Amino acid sequence: MTKIIDTPYQNNLKIGMAQISPVWLNKEATIDKIKENIVKASNDGCELVVFGEALLPGYPFWVSMTDGAKFNSTVQKEIHAHYIKNSIQIEAGELDDICALAKEHKIAIYIGLMERAQNRGGHSIYCSLVYINSDGEIKSVHRKLQPTYEERLTWAPGDGNGLQVHDLKNFTVGGLNCWENWMPLPRATLYGLGEDLHIAVWPGSDYNTADITRFIARESRSYVVSVSSLMSKKDFPEDTPHLNAILENCPETLANGGSCIAGPDGEWVLPPVIDKEGIITTTIDFNRVLEERQNFDPVGHYSRPDVTKLVVNRERQSTVEIKN
């Protein structure tokens, strides 16, 4: 847990929310865009920059528009294969350039990506939230515990290994993917680990962020930073497999942003920002956390562990355990 050093430098943290669109299902081009925005955030004086859920290389918007539940469909198989090929294998060093930028610019990063997990065979993909510290080290990879609705047709369920928090100046930061933020027990896990700066990443749209961001902030007496991506009909590249089938039922706007920040009292620090691409910045003050914990601390003085207690399994799950 962070040792509190009561100075303006340690108490204040400048955050950049990278509300951008991916170069959809093109991991190389999307990584280049992410790198550009890391540099922009650093130039703006940010000490933490956050990118939305599944931004690298993009959210599976095609599923709901192309009869994604049709079994043994050539369309679904071919788009899914393209998705896998553009997902990220961390063990192969595909985040090395991003880590190097974090170290060069002394900036911490949360990034939502599709992970082609080596320890699960390398052919299924997980919606993962990766934390890279300002030394360029990957400190946690949280695989989304439960993909939501049609996401289950293309994403695999994760495990508890990434339910971790990290010291960042006086703050203790943790994060969850999209509708995981509605799951009370994963939230309680992060609270119990000392979280006071909660990162919630989303594929996009203010209808997701407007209510839950303030709710978590008020429940936890923490800052909550919700970061969403953007996506419009014109953002589908021409080389996308079965593009005509995707565009046939595609709305003009698929994700309108909605990135926002709520304070430890549950009130807006920055209300949802709609249809604006770029780095959205603000500075938060750690003292506000301590002030709001005076009358409510969900895992401290306002808890009863003798009555209710949570058990968490953080073992990284794998199909194979090798014993020599």
Homologous superfamily of domain range 9-292: Carbon-nitrogen hydrolase (3.60.110.10)
- Tokens in use for 67? 């009869």
Inter-CA distances, 183 with 48, 175, 177, 179, Å: 25, 12, 10, 7
The model's confidence at residue 3, banded by pLDDT at 50, 70 and 90, is confident
CA pair distance 236, 29, nearest whole angstrom: 13
Taking Cα atoms as reference points, which of 276, 197, 202, 211 lies closest to residue 20? 276
- Tokens in use for 95? 């985040």
Inter-CA distances, 295 with 128, 266, 292, Å: 34, 14, 6
* pLDDT score, position 1: 61
Catalytic residue among 46, 47, 53, 180: 53
* pLDDT score, position 322: 87
Active site residue 144: yes
Mean pLDDT of 242-260: 95
The model's confidence at residue 320, banded by pLDDT at 50, 70 and 90, is confident
Mean pLDDT of 266-277: 97
Model confidence at 78: pLDDT above 70: yes
- Model pLDDT for residues 147-190, shown as the tens digit of each residue: 999 999 999 999 999 999 999 999 999 999 999 999 999 999 99
- Model pLDDT for residues 199-248, shown as the tens digit of each residue: 999 998 999 999 999 999 999 999 999 999 999 999 999 999 999 999 99
Catalytic residue among 46, 99, 127, 178: 178
Category of 258 on φ-ψ map: left (φ > 0), alpha (ψ -120 to 50) or beta: left
CA pair distance 3, 18, nearest whole angstrom: 29
* pLDDT score, position 2: 64
Active site residue 127: no
Model confidence at 84: pLDDT above 90: yes
- Model pLDDT for residues 280-295, shown as the tens digit of each residue: 999 999 999 999 999 9
Burial 31-52 (b: 16+ CB within 10 A, else e): bebbeebbebbbeeebbbbbbb
- Tokens in use for 101? 């930028």
Domain borders along the chain are: 9-292
The pTM is what? 0.96
Contact 199, 186 (CB under 8 A): no
Model confidence at 139: pLDDT above 90: yes
* pLDDT score, position 208: 94
CA pair distance 54, 31, nearest whole angstrom: 12
Catalytic residue among 47, 144, 180, 195: 144
Please state, for a pLDDT cut of 90, what percent of the chain lies above it. 95
